[in-house]
Amino acid sequence: MLKKTYQIWGAALALSVAASGSYAAVSAEQAAKLGTEFTPMGAVKAAQGNIPAWEGDVPAGKGGVGPDGKLLNPFAGDKPKFVITAANYKDYAANLTDGQKAMFAKYPDTYRMPVYETRRTAGYPQEIYDATKKNATASELLNDGNGIANFTEGTPFPFPQTGVEVIWNHITRYRGGSVTRVVGQVTPQVNGDYTLVRFQDEFTFRNELTDFDPATDDNVLFYFKQDVLSPARLAGNVLLVHETLDQVKEPRKAWVYNAGQRRVRRAPQVAYDGPGTASDGLRTSDNFDMFNGSPDRYDWKLEGKQEVYIPYNSYQLKDGKLKYDEIVQAGHINQDLTRYELHRVWKVTATLKEGKRHIYAKRVFYIDEDTWQATEIDHYDGRGELWRVAESHNVYYYDRKVPWYAIEVLYDLNSGRYLALGLDNEEKGGYEYDFKRTYSDYTPAALRRQGVR
């Protein structure tokens, strides 16, 4: 069984909180190991256990960008080493999450996991490595873990000592600085029928604004805008979010432009377990990006590291030759198009605090050590029953050195339905980076000016 905590820095993980409510940064001696003993992001660099050494990028000469603007699969020639099915999953139980096991039980005839060679192909730009090394000795959690001091970009806690530090590494992780994309979301019925909802999303981290001023909006992490492009009944609605670092001190700011009313309104429901946009009740606001928002409603326990089969290098799910109908099926996405690899992940258990409210009483996170991306999350209801299983199909945008998701999926075990977000196979081009925005582009006034319906 792989439930023992890995050791880092030659000592066990420290789980104590200072009396002031802040968490201490690591020493300069520990930070100096980034890029040598550890990867620049804090993962184990050398081969260890069943996990090979970190590669840091796709092999030279592999991949490329196709004429349709989509990334080519650098591992198109790989074949599965074996396939996990309902008939044999118990043989691999030590490396599976409870949610994955539940999927085999729920869909014994169709759910399968093709397992491929482990390739630790995920890197970041040098400036993100440099920022992460600086953060290691400078960044601190404040306000009982609900805010970060001395952080602008990179990973704030490459050597996490608490569960909430791991979660902040996921929330703040690098996604290209500024990026816009057109993606689809589906919420299939039990029989597989679905209506595609198309969004144009854009993220801009505050330091990427052309008129960036460290003193302006200093509690904002990034700005997010989401335009609904289709279907017609939803088209024209726009969501604007100012994602704050300390959401207890200053709650997330959100506004919605309603095309039918031609009005901009504050949207306090866009947080925690408020309903996700056009999700048919199948996800909460904080299910987006696997998990987002304030961590203040949960107690976060760091369980250590495990080796788990997780979706990785999921380039096949980004293939521009695929149609959405080939991916979206009844019960779950087409698992023949998936790729799983054995990777080392951080395990964190979130338990709802006494007196706090959320539809998920417990969440169990599995976060990839190389990218800090949440890749498997099990969600439990108030009775302690496993309810929803989230899975992100990770992909490395090697042309921009950005690890992210091909698709993120949230399976509802009770209803037999699911939500899949991030589909872009039938969209033109890929993700657009380095677009220019100013503070004034992310204001309610700008939202009103944008409204055309």
**What CA–CA distance (Å, rounded) separates 274 from 266?**
14
Q: What pLDDT, in 10s, does the model give residues 100-114? A: 999 999 999 999 999
| pLDDT value for 451 | 65
Encoding tokens for residue 114?
A: 């093709």
Q: What pLDDT, in 10s, does the model give residues 281-299? A: 999 999 999 999 999 999 9
Encoding tokens for residue 115?
A: 């397992």
| pLDDT value for 224 | 96
Q: What pLDDT, in 10s, does the model give residues 193-230? A: 999 999 999 999 999 999 999 999 999 999 999 999 99
Query: Of 295, 308, 417, which is closest to residue 360 (Cα–Cα)?
Result: 295
Q: Would you state the torsion angle of the CA atoms of residues 174, 176, 181, 187, taken in this order, to the nearest 10 degrees?
A: -20
Cis peptide before 156 (omega within 30 of 0): no
Contact 366, 349 (CB under 8 A): no
Encoding tokens for residue 58?
A: 């796709």
| pLDDT value for 452 | 55
Q: What pLDDT, in 10s, does the model give residues 85-96? A: 999 999 999 999
| pLDDT value for 99 | 98
Contact 189, 415 (CB under 8 A): no
Encoding tokens for residue 275?
A: 């309903």
**What CA–CA distance (Å, rounded) separates 187 from 190?**
10
Identify the segments of the chain with pLDDT beneath 70. Answer: 1-24, 451-453
Contact 367, 290 (CB under 8 A): no
**What CA–CA distance (Å, rounded) separates 104 from 87?**
9
Q: In this structure, how many other beta carbons lie within 10 angstroms of the beta carbon of residue 126?
A: 10
The set of residues, in sequence order, having a beta carbon less than 8 Å from that of 82 and lying 6+ positions away, is 115
Predicted model pTM: 0.93
Positive or negative CA dihedral for 166, 250, 133, 59?
positive
| pLDDT value for 266 | 94
**Longest alpha-carbon distance in the chain:** 60
By DSSP bridging, strand 386-397 and strand 374-380 are antiparallel
